Amino acid sequence: MKPKHRKRIYILLSMLLVCFLGMQYYAPRVITEIKNPIIIRVTGKNYEARTSFHPDTGYPLNFSAYDGIQLSAFFTASRQDFTKGTIILLHGIRGTKEHFIPLSERLSKLGYNAVALDSRAHGQSTGVHCTFGVKEKRDISKLIDLLISKGIDSKTIGIWGQSLGGAIGLQAMAQEPRIAFGIIESTFRDLHSITNDYFNYHAGFKNRFFINYLLQRAGKIADFNPSEASPITACKKITQPVLLVHGTADRRIAIAYAKENFKHIASTSKTFIPIEGANHLNVWTVGGTAYFKTAEVFLNSHTAIPL
């Protein structure tokens, strides 16, 4: 064989090997590794908290997950002479609990405790991989254990989750009867569907075989079953009151998923609110005062309000 032909074969084999190793080991990690260096370099974001809760407003809660991962939360107490309830706040993917500083303050003034949580692998919580609710729902149960040990009334603990946090919230509500109600914003129906959608959104193509292979590998690397990350399956077991919210102009997570989730929620006390013109990131801004008033009415109707 001529040297130049041999060189071409070596180059081709090397390229194939790099592609195989990338598909097998690295590309799947992009799905689950929150602080993946490639994503940080491409987006220019380090996903670390840039602001922090003021110590005068509350105190940090640090606790261990069921598998030893250390989780970080911040407890903001009610500013009223009474406490109506306690709301666990769950951020979106690559977010942090600091996103909820304004909402924690708002809830506190209304008479609610607010507990903003860094999901595993996010913010100040440890861990490497996000499992899209499969392990995170068990973290919520550990947080509830901690809150109850501190004297919080389990009958008035609720969830307020956005995007990934909404998916975690639905899955947690399905398994945790101590969650009395939930506000769920802008979330997906199952991990397989939304991963295909995100590849189409960011890369401009869909390939279910390719994506499903990556998810299978991601699950093995991160030690979870991607098929279990299914809010729509969880909805069939939810009997608590739910306020489901989604922007009509959301291109990242289609409003059709919210409608499917809503249809499958078993609870007889459920409300769906489309926020006209809102995208994935500005539901609060577009919904404005009217939306927060609706949320307040929902919370007041499902918590203990002193006479």
Give me the percent of the chain exceeding a pLDDT of 90.
74
Q: How many helices (H) and strands (E) does the chain have?
A: 11, 8
Better-predicted residue by pLDDT, 194 or 24: 194
Structure tokens at 52: 């922090």
Q: For residue 27, what pLDDT is reported?
A: 74
Q: What is the mean pLDDT of residues 31-48?
A: 68
**Which is it for strands 58-64 and 85-90: parallel, antiparallel or unpaired?**
unpaired
Q: How confident is the model at residue 56 (pLDDT cuts 50, 70, 90)?
A: confident
Give the ranges where the chain is alpha helix by DSSP (H): 3-21, 27-32, 37-43, 101-110, 136-149, 164-175, 191-203, 208-222, 231-235, 255-264, 283-301
Q: What is the Cα gyration radius of the chain?
A: 21
pLDDT exceeds 50 at position 95: yes
**How many alpha carbons fall within 13 Å on the CB side of residue 270?**
21
Q: What is the mean pLDDT of residues 233-257?
A: 97
Residue for token pair 């299914």: 230
pLDDT exceeds 70 at position 15: no
What is d(CA 295, CA 307) in angstroms, rounded to the nearest whole number? Answer: 21
DSSP 20-44: HHIIIIIHHHHHHBTT-HHHHHHH-
Q: What is the mean pLDDT of residues 44-48?
A: 56
Q: According to the per-residue pLDDT averaged within each range, which of 51-60, 139-148, 204-213 is highest?
A: 139-148
Q: For residue 241, what pLDDT is reported?
A: 98
pLDDT exceeds 80 at position 2: no
pLDDT in tens, 203-232: 777 778 888 888 999 999 999 999 999 999
Q: What is the mean pLDDT of residues 135-163?
A: 96
pLDDT exceeds 90 at position 71: yes
Give me the percent of the chain exceeding a pLDDT of 70.
85
Q: How confident is the model at residue 16 (pLDDT cuts 50, 70, 90)?
A: low
pLDDT in tens, 161-197: 999 999 999 999 999 999 999 999 999 999 999 999 9
Cβ neighbours around 254 below 10 Å, total = 17
**Which is it for strands 242-247 and 270-275: parallel, antiparallel or unpaired?**
parallel
pLDDT exceeds 50 at position 278: yes
Q: What is the mean pLDDT of residues 239-266?
A: 97
Q: For residue 41, what pLDDT is reported?
A: 60
Cβ neighbours around 166 below 10 Å, total = 29
Q: How confident is the model at residue 307 (pLDDT cuts 50, 70, 90)?
A: very low
Taking all residues of the chain, what is their mean pLDDT, rounded to a whole number? 89
